[in-house]
């Protein structure tokens, strides 16, 4: 039986992970569950899955849960997340949002755990550090993002084959086809109305700006050890082709399926096996009848090029890109800036930054905190 720790168990990825485990109880047990503020849902998850450890963001919430569950460990904050990362499990599923996912991932790797990674920021800001540690500890980084899972699946049986190009697909978000002039007037409600995927607010805004795809380019560069020039973004509104790989002989392998995050989650948890799934399958004569592809408008959605540029420069630039984006998206969510201010401000911040190289974990954290303070003013 495979033991699983889940960081972010009450979010979209976390709850769907538990749905997969619920369908395969004979194969998985849950050792740790971690949440932010949704302790009501966490409490129900504890009752159902009986982990040894639960973690909340706040001490007060941990104390209340400890009264309800006196015979298990209830921790809180960053120390709690690290305890969950180091607990007695076989695989850590990291579904935390943002930079805070880096440190637990790193600690779990040092403790020899495989990582089911839904926290793209881990590789965006610490790709070199993380992949080096994973190689040294001989642990697997199993992607949970639908696009990276698709690439991972296409590469099975093709390890070592020359890759000509990786195609990262994107739905185009709610503003596909918009001009820069039209984007000046978009509202928060519009930005949060994704046409295909149900996700948290931050990642939904990232999809609207297309920063999400830029971050995925950086993630793919580290996961699959390919140069940036071999990673191309395809806008695919139907979200049926989740990504593809073109090999040296021009053959293209693609992974197709309905937009359903339980599939990449189950691929990561079950690897190297595939888990049966009772959900609806793709019907080629309905959803698959008309599939289209187009280039993203990189002049309108500047975040794509900003991500490529940050990755190409390397060093601290991806850290700056991510930190600025997280703060600016939060400001947009709270109505303090307009939609286009996100990409405008990120570009200004990157232009003013002097890159630093050969970063350790503490360097990354220090630069991240410095940029956040500067952006918040």
Q: What angle do CA 319, 324, 326 make, to 5 degrees?
A: 95
pTM, two decimals, is 0.95
- Same CATH fold, 178-209+298-377 and 2-143? no
Task: Kindly report the number of other CB atoms within 10 A of residue 155's CB atom.
Answer: 18
128: burial class by Cβ within 10 Å (0-12, 13-18, 19+)? middle
Q: Would you give per-residue pLDDT tens digits along the chain (377 residues)?
A: 999 999 999 999 999 999 999 999 999 999 999 999 999 999 999 999 999 999 999 999 999 999 999 999 999 999 999 999 999 999 999 999 889 999 999 999 999 999 999 999 999 999 999 999 999 999 999 999 999 999 999 999 998 999 999 999 999 999 999 999 999 999 999 999 987 777 789 989 999 999 999 999 999 999 999 999 999 999 999 999 999 999 999 999 999 999 999 999 999 999 999 999 999 999 999 988 899 999 999 999 999 999 999 999 999 999 999 999 999 999 999 999 999 999 999 999 999 999 999 999 999 999 999 999 999 98
Domain ranges of the chain: 2-143, 178-209+298-377
Sheet holding 241-247, edge to edge: 231-235, 163-170, 241-247, 252-256
The per-type count for the chain, helices as H runs and strands as E runs, is 16, 11
Distance CA 226, CA 209 (A): 25
CA distance 153 to 158: 10
So what's the pLDDT on residue 195? 78
CATH placement of domain 2-143: 3.40.50.720
Query: Is domain 178-209+298-377 annotated with CATH 3.40.50.300?
Result: no
pLDDT at position 20 is 98
Distance CA 114, CA 91 (A): 5
Give the tokens for residue 368: 């991240």
Tell me, what's the pLDDT at 37? 92
CB of 218 within 8 A of CB of 311?
yes
């Amino acid at each position: 039986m495979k033991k699983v720790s889940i960081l972010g168990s009450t979010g979209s990825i976390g709850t769907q992970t538990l749905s997969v485990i619920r369908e395969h109880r004979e194969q998985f047990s849950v050792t740790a569950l971690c949440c932010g503020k949704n302790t009501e849902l966490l409490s129900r998850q504890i009752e159902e899955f009986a982990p040894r450890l639960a973690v909340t963001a706040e001490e007060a919430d941990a104390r209340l849960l400890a009264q309800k569950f006196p015979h298990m460990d209830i921790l809180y904050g960053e120390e709690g997340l690290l305890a969950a990362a180091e607990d007695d499990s076989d695989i850590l599923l990291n579904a935390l949002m943002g930079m805070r996912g880096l440190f637990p991932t790193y600690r779990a790797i040092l403790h020899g755990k495989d990582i089911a990674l839904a926290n793209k920021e881990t590789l965006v800001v610490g790709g070199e550090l993380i992949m080096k540690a994973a190689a040294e500890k001989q642990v697997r980084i199993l992607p949970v993002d639908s696009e990276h899972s698709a690439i991972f699946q296409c590469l099975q049986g093709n390890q070592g084959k020359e890759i000509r190009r990786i195609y990262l697909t994107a739905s185009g978000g709610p503003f596909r086809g918009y001009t820069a002039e039209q984007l000046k007037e978009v509202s928060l409600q519009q930005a949060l109305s994704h046409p295909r995927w149900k996700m948290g607010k931050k990642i939904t805004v990232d999809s609207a700006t297309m920063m999400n795809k830029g971050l995925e380019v950086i993630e793919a560069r580290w996961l699959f050890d390919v140069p940036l020039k071999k990673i191309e973004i395809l806008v695919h509104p139907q979200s049926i082709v989740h990504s593809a790989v073109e090999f040296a002989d021009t053959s293209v392998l693609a992974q197709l399926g309905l937009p359903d995050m339980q599939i990449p989650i189950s691929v990561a948890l079950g690897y190297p096996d595939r888990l049966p799934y009772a959900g609806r399958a793709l019907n080629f004569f309905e959803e698959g009848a008309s599939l289209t592809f187009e280039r993203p408008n990189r002049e309108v959605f500047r975040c794509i090029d900003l991500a490529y540029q940050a990755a190409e420069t390397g060093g601290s630039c991806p850290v700056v890109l991510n930190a600025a984006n997280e703060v600016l998206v939060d400001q947009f969510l709270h109505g303090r800036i307009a939609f286009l201010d996100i990409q405008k401000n990120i570009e200004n911040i990157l232009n003013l930054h002097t890159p630093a190289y050969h970063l350790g974990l503490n360097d990354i954290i220090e630069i991240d905190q410095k940029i956040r303070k500067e952006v918040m003013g």
